[in-house]
Amino acid sequence: MNALSKTTHRVFRGRFGAIAWFAVLYVAVAFVTRCVLLAKSAVDVSWDLSLVGSFVLGLVYDLCAAAWFSLPLILGLTLLPARTFGTRVGRAIMHAALFVVLVILVVSGVAEWFFWDEFSTRFNFIAVDYLVYTTEVLGNIRESYPLPAIIMGVVIAAASIHALLWRAGVPQRWMATARADWRSRLRGGAACVAVVVAFGLTLSLDRLPRFQNNYNRSLAQDGPFSLFAAFWDNELDYEEFYASRPIDEAYALMRSELQEDDSRLLEEPTNGTLRYVENAGKPQTPNIIQITVESLSANFVGALNPSSPLTPNLDALAQKSLLFDNFFATGTRTVRGMEALTMSIPPTPGRSIVKRPDNANLFTLGSVLKSRGYDTAFLYGGYGYFDNMNAFFAGNGYRVVDRSSVASDDVTFATAWGACDEDLFRWTLREADRAAEGPDPFHFFVMTTSNHRPYAYPAGRIDLPPKTSGREGAVKYTDYAIGEFIREASTRPWFLNTVFVIVADHCASSAGKRELPLNKYHIPLLIYAPGGQIAPGRDSTLMSQMDYAPTLLGLLDWSYASRFFGHDVRRLDPDHSHALVATYQLLGHLEEDELTILQPKQSHTTYRIDMQSYEALQEVEDAESLDETIAYYQVASDMYRRAAYTALSTEEQLRLSSVGRQLSRSTEGATR
């Protein structure tokens, strides 16, 4: 027996030889998983040397993950007495433990396949969020996939691997050498823990190099390792992780940016974004029903993509609406869309503000409307505790109407995510009828759920069958439900005094070859005013969800004190229009044809963008673009941290608006 064989023999025998066998099993399952994901994304990956790098680096991360996950096993092997392996019961327990480990490994691989099928990436912060809301997620899995067959397949796969190991004699040989006295166990356990910690602490996802193709980079990751890394980094301190400037300089640049729409700064005792936005027309106060559609990518909408036949109702509505065709989501999650659409704030790194503590009494579209007497409400087809939505909206002055607040017979069809869109719109009509009886106008934030896996909806509504038609059927059903809602609303006395907004929360998919694939952020925004409050047309100004609230208020000719980071895009020079897009770690700023991306560890990249295809052409250096990007994200994070993004009461709005008008008159007088 040569030296290598002797070393290998020693590693795999003895009490702690089980750790080596666990590492082999883990790496084997991870390798098979990586190969399956590669086959699934064969048309997206780059078939070059970087793919070899994906597998080499993947092996390193798999070993690191195996090391961390072996810690409970090390603890058990250290504490188990020597006699455990000499009894029939002890050996049975070891076999049962091995089978459980195999089931967990196989389940992990299967879960990664389904997650990749949905999001085209390894486990990330979305998976972390899903672990919190097991009722909805498990219900979605049960409704979307043949769960009994999957469970049976997992059990058969684990049992088959167990049988192969048994036939090879691996468990028997190990248990024959697994007895050890307590001193040997303590020494061996301490040594294993030291090796695991020393190896494990050397690696993090931040050390994974950048790839030209983000699919190749995702393949290099280890799924469970990425899951725990996302959990650990779920909230990132901007100052610690991202490029920054002296805070006063960042605020000075931010205030200069905010005045590009001709608004006037209002003095604050500390750094802030408070300013006065003035419109010359007579302010209008129609009802506002904002329908935020789940996962409605721009390419689904025929008015934006003529080859799509999925949205005949929205396409017809677009002809009578003001359609913004260069509109981008700020993020990839529903809560990110809510954050931007209500607060007009850049996406702060880590978790959305919707899910963070201390997120009440913030400056929102709702708070501005309430200062003028509006009744505001949040309507959701599901249970609004999901993603902390109810707490966020209730804490910011919205009445909440969700599935838990309606009678059981008021739900005619539902999935794990919520009642079908027809049910939600029926509730909306009822709430609007009630609100219209009062003296005040109303604003509803309506959040749909039907365009979500399992893509189930009532049969007989459209010409595509539920579930089997996938996303296309869900999009077409949502379009049908919106069309029926508008037709029914048109019979109501409040219809002509209502502005209807149709907007997406985010795209259906966020994966792409680049770190921030812009085409996966392009969404529709259309504003329909049947009473003529807002003229129909088409606007191609570059903008993101952050610009929605100030643009809507501008279209209604409101003058008001604002903390919004977004602009009324109609008041901007097109050369100064921009869009902010982000993931939970990557923070992007698109202006003209340049996309600047801030990354953790104070790194950054700027790309020249083809604005027709949204593809990155080349890396460039642009100090001005970098400074603007930093200012937006650094100031937004600082204001949230200092609790400075607070709502203004009706009295404060009146006082500050008076100050703003005086400032405008004095400025105009000085100009003359």
Higher pLDDT, 251 or 125: 251
Among 23-32, 35-44, 428-437, the range with the most confident prediction by mean pLDDT is: 428-437
Distance, in Å, from the CA atom of 550 to the CA atom of 559, rounded to the nearest integer, reads 10
Confidence of residue 498 (pLDDT cuts 50, 70, 90): very high
pLDDT over 70 at 621, yes or no? yes
Task: Identify the CA nearest to 140 among candidates 454, 519, 402, 522.
Answer: 454
Distance, in Å, from the CA atom of 537 to the CA atom of 560, rounded to the nearest integer, reads 25
Distance, in Å, from the CA atom of 256 to the CA atom of 496, rounded to the nearest integer, reads 39
pLDDT over 90 at 130, yes or no? no
In the CATH scheme, what architecture does the domain 254-671 have?
3-Layer(aba) Sandwich (3.40)
Q: Which residues pair with 418 in a beta bridge?
A: 415
Please report the pLDDT score of residue 148 as a whole number: 87
Give the gyration radius of the chain's Cα atoms.
28
The predicted model gives 650-667 an average pLDDT of 87
Please report the pLDDT score of residue 11 as a whole number: 62
Give pTM, 2 decimals.
Answer: 0.83
Please report the pLDDT score of residue 131 as a whole number: 67
Please report the pLDDT score of residue 665 as a whole number: 76
**b or e along 258-287 (b: 16 or more beta carbons within 10 Å of the residue's beta carbon)?**
beebebbbbeeeebbbbbbbbbeeeebebb
Which range has the worst mean pLDDT, 6-15, 367-376, 561-570?
Answer: 6-15
Please report the pLDDT score of residue 123 as a whole number: 81
On whether the CB atoms of residues 505 and 293 are closer than 8 A, the answer is yes
Please report the pLDDT score of residue 235 as a whole number: 65
Confidence of residue 3 (pLDDT cuts 50, 70, 90): very low
Confidence of residue 254 (pLDDT cuts 50, 70, 90): very high
Distance, in Å, from the CA atom of 568 to the CA atom of 433, rounded to the nearest integer, reads 31
On whether the CB atoms of residues 509 and 543 are closer than 8 A, the answer is no
Distance, in Å, from the CA atom of 139 to the CA atom of 417, rounded to the nearest integer, reads 8
Convert the pLDDT of each residue in 570-587 to its tens digit: 999 888 899 999 988 899
Q: SS3 sequence, 230-263?
A: HHHCCECCHHHHCCCCCHHHHHHHHHHHHHHHCC
Distance, in Å, from the CA atom of 368 to the CA atom of 391, rounded to the nearest integer, reads 19
pLDDT over 70 at 4, yes or no? no
Higher pLDDT, 13 or 583: 583
Q: SS3 sequence, 370-401?
A: HCCCCEEEEEECCCCCHHHHHHHHHHCCCEEE
Judging by beta carbons within 10 Å of its beta carbon (0-12, 13-18, 19+), is residue 588 exposed, middle or buried?
Answer: buried
For 614: left if phi > 0, alpha if psi spans -120 to 50, otherwise beta; the answer is left
Distance, in Å, from the CA atom of 170 to the CA atom of 191, rounded to the nearest integer, reads 23
Q: SS3 sequence, 79-95?
A: HCCHHHHHCHHHHHHHH
Convert the pLDDT of each residue in 444-475 to its tens digit: 999 999 999 899 999 999 999 998 899 999 99
Higher pLDDT, 297 or 80: 297
Task: Identify the CA nearest to 217 among candidates 605, 514, 604, 596.
Answer: 514
| C-alpha separations of 284 from 295, 342, 548, 549, 558 in Å | 31, 19, 17, 15, 7
Which range has the worst mean pLDDT, 92-96, 310-314, 574-578?
Answer: 92-96
Q: Which residue has the tokens 């209502």?
A: 498
Task: Identify the CA nearest to 285 among candidates 371, 402, 354.
Answer: 371
Structure token pair of residue 292? 């935020």
List for the chain the helix, strand, coil content (%; round to 5). Answer: 50, 15, 35
On whether the CB atoms of residues 564 and 635 are closer than 8 A, the answer is no
Distance, in Å, from the CA atom of 598 to the CA atom of 575, rounded to the nearest integer, reads 22
Please report the pLDDT score of residue 651 as a whole number: 94
Please report the pLDDT score of residue 533 as a whole number: 97
Convert the pLDDT of each residue in 350-366 to its tens digit: 889 999 988 999 999 99
Close Cβ partners of 577 (under 8 Å, ≥ 6 residues apart): 541, 542, 543, 567, 569, 591
Instruction: Look over the chain and give the mean of its residue pLDDT values, rounded to a whole number.
Output: 89
Confidence of residue 508 (pLDDT cuts 50, 70, 90): confident
Please report the pLDDT score of residue 6 as a whole number: 47
Higher pLDDT, 644 or 95: 644
Q: What does the DSSP 8-state code read for residue 547?
A: G
Q: How far apart are the first and last CA of the chain?
A: 98
The predicted model gives 68-95 an average pLDDT of 81
Judging by beta carbons within 10 Å of its beta carbon (0-12, 13-18, 19+), is residue 184 exposed, middle or buried?
Answer: middle
Which range has the worst mean pLDDT, 182-196, 293-307, 547-561, 642-656?
Answer: 182-196
Among 71-80, 234-243, 416-425, the range with the most confident prediction by mean pLDDT is: 416-425
Strand order in the sheet with 264-265: 264-265, 275-277, 560-562
Confidence of residue 84 (pLDDT cuts 50, 70, 90): confident
Higher pLDDT, 236 or 536: 536
Confidence of residue 548 (pLDDT cuts 50, 70, 90): very high
Distance, in Å, from the CA atom of 52 to the CA atom of 44, rounded to the nearest integer, reads 15
The predicted model gives 138-161 an average pLDDT of 86
On whether the CB atoms of residues 238 and 640 are closer than 8 A, the answer is no
Strand order in the sheet with 603-610: 578-582, 587-591, 594-599, 603-610, 615-620
Task: Identify the CA nearest to 580 among candidates 635, 527, 653.
Answer: 635
Task: Identify the CA nearest to 390 among candidates 376, 375, 401, 374.
Answer: 401
Convert the pLDDT of each residue in 385-409 to its tens digit: 989 999 999 999 999 999 999 999 9
Please report the pLDDT score of residue 615 as a whole number: 85
Distance, in Å, from the CA atom of 300 to the CA atom of 283, rounded to the nearest integer, reads 34
Percent of the chain with pLDDT over 90: 60
Confidence of residue 439 (pLDDT cuts 50, 70, 90): very high
pLDDT over 80 at 126, yes or no? no
The predicted model gives 182-192 an average pLDDT of 83
Q: How many residues does the chain have?
A: 672
On whether the CB atoms of residues 82 and 179 are closer than 8 A, the answer is yes
Domain boundaries, the chain: 9-232, 254-671
Close Cβ partners of 549 (under 8 Å, ≥ 6 residues apart): 341, 342, 343, 344, 364, 365, 368, 564, 566
On whether the CB atoms of residues 577 and 591 are closer than 8 A, the answer is yes
Higher pLDDT, 162 or 120: 162
Confidence of residue 1 (pLDDT cuts 50, 70, 90): very low
Percent of the chain with pLDDT over 70: 93
Please report the pLDDT score of residue 531 as a whole number: 97
Structure token pair of residue 146? 């043949």
Amino acid letter, 225: F
Please report the pLDDT score of residue 477 as a whole number: 97
Task: Identify the CA nearest to 319 among candidates 619, 536, 116.
Answer: 536
Confidence of residue 617 (pLDDT cuts 50, 70, 90): confident
